[in-house]
Every structure is written in C-alpha cells, then in structure tokens.
Structure 1
Amino acid sequence: MLAVVVTPNPPPMHTAATDPPSSSLSAPLRTLLRSFGQIVLQPNAATGACMLGAWLLSEPRLLGAALIGAIAANVSAMLAGSADADLRAGLLGFNGALAGLTAYSFISDPARASAVAILAATATAWLLRPWSRWLRVRGLGYLSSPCLIVTWLWLPLIASRSLSAGPYAAQPLDAMRFVSGVLAGVAQTGFASGAPAGVLVLLGIAAASRKHALYALGGATLASAAQLLLGASLASFDAGLSGFNGALTALALADSGYAAMLGGIAMSVLLQAVALHCSWLTMTAPFVLATWSIQSLRRRLA
C-alpha cells in the first residue's frame, strides 16, 4: 500500500452508490440503507439491509438506535445544505447511526438514550462539514471520527453503564471458538454481537464487493489473533471486541495495497492494546488513527 499512488484529496468514504440500477426502493429508503452500509464503508442498500438483519438478530433495540441516529443526521445534513450526492451515498447519515448505536449501548434508560441519540446524531451532521473540510486539505477521510468526537463529549456526563465483554466462557480456545470470535468481531463493526450477526454483516459487504468482504474477514482474523497473543481476555475475544478495529482498518485500506493494509491493521492492534492497558475507552479510534497514519505516510511518500 505504501507504493501506490495517492489522490490529492481522497474522499472520506466510498462515495459512488453500488446498488443495481433496477432497484425498486424509493430514494429516501435507499439513502437510509446506504447510511447503514457506510458503517462498513459500503455505499450499498443491500449492505444496509444486512446490517438491519444483524441488529435484529443481535439486539432489536439497536435497530431503533440506528434508525433514530441516521434519520436525525440525514435531516440535519439536509438543513445544513450538504451535497445531495453525499446524502444519497449515505455519507451524511452513517456517523449519526453510529452515534445512535453508541447512545443505546452506553445508556440503559430508553428515553434518555433516545434523547442523547438524536442530539448526538444531529451534532455529528453539523460538525461534519467543517471537520471534513479540514481533514480533506490534509488528504484524510473523516471515517467515524465525528461520532467519536461527539461521544467523548457527552459520555463522561451521561453514560450509565459501560460496554461489557460478556460472561467468561471456560471452554478452551479451539478452532470453532476462534471462528466464532472472529465473526463476532465483524459483527461489532456495527455494534452487533455474535457469530450469526457477523455472517450477515459479511454477506452485506460481499453484496457490494466480495474482495472487501474477504479483507474484512482477514482484518478481523489477524487483529483477533494478535490481540490474543498480546494478552487480550477470552471474554473480550468472544464478544468480538478484539477484531472489529482490524476489520474496519482493512476495509478502509482495501484499495491501497497489501503492505499498507497490513501495516494499518498492525497499528490498530497496537493502539487498541495500549488503550486497553491504560483503561481508555477508544471504540473505533484505533481504526481511525491507524488509517489516518497510513494515509499520511502514503501522501508523504507519493
């Protein structure tokens, strides 16, 4: 990846919609589904539909959270005068969906979670234009950084619980358990949990790009294995918390070459391990920082 050509102003995410032209879905629904698909960097309505299925299979309240966040962000982006092409590609709604999912993951009371989800999603939409402009000048995409910034502002004040790695399972780490943990890592890219949800997410990515689906699976596998070697708990591995940053980094750098993609995954693993050692709550920050680092390095070497 370090040897490939870098465009002066790379887009923040994949921008071209990849749905079949014969799709009968209405434009607003396609926009909403693409917002969900952009969580895993795929501007595809089928990907978004699979994300919906993963949330339903994992925890139905996550579906409501994603809907609240995406709708609030898309409406706010429209009011802010954002580009229609970005809106249709789902680029303006996915951080809102992530903000909604984050609120519901950390706040147990549904009413309070809904209120925070709407406010946080709206904040990501208004932050997006100046923040993405600042990053674009430096050749960087915004990825999930708007959601991270907004979440870190409200989380110390409101959150009533933390993300749990789930109960510890005493069974030995065999091949089946490893595969299940890797798939759970893929599911955690969208806050879903469990191997079946991970399979649905992979199918959704494959609907847009089989290559990207393989890279996401490979990134989750490498990151999960590396985190285990670095001392991550089996409970964290089983919950998928060891692999999702690696999967997202692989997706973000999928079109940049193997060397840079592997370097990005390695960097995300190290950043997550350091954060875990220091008891920092990072969410997708290792993915964002690793991707930015590789993009900046490629820009300098170009």
Structure 2
Amino acid sequence: MNAKTFGSGRAVFRGIGQIMLQPNGWTGALFLAGIAYGSYLAGIAALLAVLTGTLTAKLLNYDQAETEQGLYGFSAALVGVALTFYFKPVPVIWLAIIAGAAIATVIQHALIQKKLPGFTFPFILVSWSMLYLFHHVYVVPDSLAMTTVFPDSDELTTPARGFGEVIFQGSEIAGIIFFLAVFISRPVAALYGAVAALLSAFISIRFGEPAQDIHMGLFSFNAVLCAITFAEERPAGGFFVLFAVILSVLIEIMMLKMNYAVLTFPFVAASWITLTLQKLLPTKWEK
C-alpha cells in the first residue's frame, strides 16, 4: 500500500469519524463497526456514501487537507445510513445514496468556501429532499427499521442510545461503541455527551414526551452532538453546552409537534444560535 492509498483510506475513516466532529480514523472505524453491528446494510451504505463523498471531493479538486480531515465524508455517510434506515434497499435507493452523497459533498464545499459552520446541514437538506421524493413522487416502501419496536429500557441505557441514534442505531451496544469511539479521540467530549443525553431525557420527561421514545434516545442524539461540539476544559464551555443542549431539545419538541422530520436539524440550529451567542458575549468568556 503506497502513501497515497493510505491517505485516501484514512480520509474515508476520518469522514465517518467527523459525524461526531472527530477527525480520527480509529473513531471512524469504530463508528462503522457500530453501524454494521446494528445493520450490515447500513454499514455498507455508510461506506459506499463516504467513499462517494471522498471521491467527489478528489475529482472536483477540493482542498486536499480538508478532504484528508474527512470534511467531505460525514454528511455523505449520514445520507447513506438515513436512506437505508427509512426505505427498503431497492436499487433506486442505492442510486440515491450515491447521488445524495455527491450532492451533500458539493453543498459542504460551498459552505466551507463561504466559511460558514455547516455541520450536518448538507445531510439534512439532501435527506429532506429524498424523503419527499420517495414518499410523494416515486414511492418506495418503508424499511423494516421504521416498523421495528424495541423493548422498553431504563435511564441507564438512555445515554448509550442517545449516542447510537446520532447514526440511526437503536441498539445500546452500538451506542456504547460510539461513546468509546468518541472517548478515545476526545474524552471530555464523550463525557459531556453522556451528561447531555441524561439532561435532554430529563427535559423531555418534563414536557410529557413518550417515555419509550425518550429511553430510545430519540430526544438525546441532537443534545449529544451539541455537547460534543461545545465541550471544552474551560468553565465557559459548560455554559455553552448547557445552553445548546436545552435549546436543541426545545427545537426538537417543536419540530415533532409540527410533524417535521427532525434528523439533526435541532443540533445544527442550536449550534448556530450558540455560536452567535459566543460572539455577542463579553470577551471575558474567552478567558
């Protein structure tokens, strides 16, 4: 294996790791293992999509350093997993995974060029479009995952499932793998994420949301992403994590009441607002 091939492989795994903002190849490899544990089809889709995203970036001559950091892989990978989660894996879905991954990569590049914090917004745009297309224009049957009912669980499994649901995995085993994957890359982010999963569950309970959905981590995964994004050693980091987590839960509850497909939009919206708040606060918060 030459250096170029090794670099491309590292970019692929970093792309998967960047789903939770970790430019770490080992983290990405564990994420892929966790996805495949929950569904081998989702694992194949994630790999196909991240390869497509990375190849698209290379073919369009996007910045090599950005590509190697996996910045053009994570939204693509999420598109792949999302489409196999929502729909039966018929041939048109596999074509949509390739097309959607390429489109997400182009959108990601446009945001990077404008120096805008896109996070997973390209994945959201592509997935919303695909959900509309395959539900209303060219109808594709729902996947079995959409009708699977998982056994009820307790508060002890909620943090694990909060991590798992970031990548559409309802298994606590997959969630534990994801937590460990983040921990080996950035321990403080993993720990903040676990606390955020519990806090978001508590907030959801106070708003009377369904207990099973809460225990499944459906109200926690956006909070986990917010916590990972703003986690840092300084005390100010804790404030911004708390603000973003609470905001993400409130946005998610509002979207669900309006029957919108949530995906990771609460995380993105809460992060945008939190970043704006960081810029508006006095400079003493930076110390």
Same fold (TM > 0.5): yes
Equivalent position of 1:204 in the other structure: 181
Instruction: Indicate whether 1:130 and 2:110 are aligned.
Output: yes
Residues 165-203 of structure 1, C-alpha deviations (whole Å, 9 max, x = no match): 85375x6x7xxx111122111111122221111110011
Q: 1:164 to 1:224 in 2, by over 3 A?
A: farther
Alignment partner, residue 138 of structure 2? none
Which of 36, 45, 52 lines up with 1:72 in the alignment?
52
Structure 1 residues 35, 273: closer, same or farther in 2, change over 3 A? same
Determine if contact 2:76/2:123 at 8 Å carries over to the other structure.
Answer: yes
Equivalent position amino acid for 1:167 in 2:
V
Partner of 1:213: 190
TM-score normalised to structure 2 length: 0.88
Which amino acid counterpart does residue 120 of structure 2 have in structure 1? Answer: S
Q: Distance in 2 between matches of 1:157 and 1:90?
A: 28
Match of 1:141 among 117, 121, 142: 117
Q: Is the 8 A contact 1:165 1:239 kept in 2?
A: no
Q: Aligned partners of 2:90 and 2:231: how far apart in 1?
A: 37
Query: How far did residue 228 of structure 1 move?
Result: 2.1
1:230 aligns with 2:207: yes
Provide the C-alpha distance between the structure 2 equivalents of 1:206 and 1:125, rounded to a whole number of angstroms: 27
Checking the alignment, whether the CA contact within 8 Å between 1:206 and 1:212 is kept in structure 2 is yes
**Does the CA contact (< 8 Å) of 2:86 and 2:146 recur in 1?**
no
Q: Which has the higher helix share?
A: 2
Q: Using a 3 Å threshold, how does the CA distance of structure 1 residues 166 and 224 change in structure 2: closer, same or farther?
A: farther
**Pairs within 5 Å for 1:41-190:** 41-134=21-114, 136=115, 140-159=116-135, 160-161=141-142, 164=146, 166-167=148-149, 169=151, 177-190=154-167
Q: What is the CA distance between 1:62 and its match in structure 2?
A: 1.0
- Long gaps (5+) in structure 1: 1-24
Counterpart-to-counterpart distance in 1, 2:33 and 2:130: 29
Letter in 2 for 1:54: G
In structure 2, the gaps of 5 or more residues are 136-140
- When residues 205 and 98 of structure 1 are mapped into structure 2, their CA distance, relative to the original with a 3 A threshold, is same
TM-score scaled by length of structure 1? 0.84
Higher RCO (CA < 8 A, seq sep 6+) = 1
> Percent identical across equivalent pairs?
25
Distance 2:165 2:49 in 1: 17
Task: From the superposition, tell whether residues 99 and 199 of structure 1 become closer, same or farther in structure 2 (CA, over 3 Å).
Answer: same
Q: What number of residue pairs does the alignment pair up?
A: 269
The residue number in structure 2 matching 1:9 is none
Q: Distance in 2 between matches of 1:89 and 1:151?
A: 23
Q: CA contact under 8 A between 2:192 and 2:228: conserved in structure 1?
A: yes
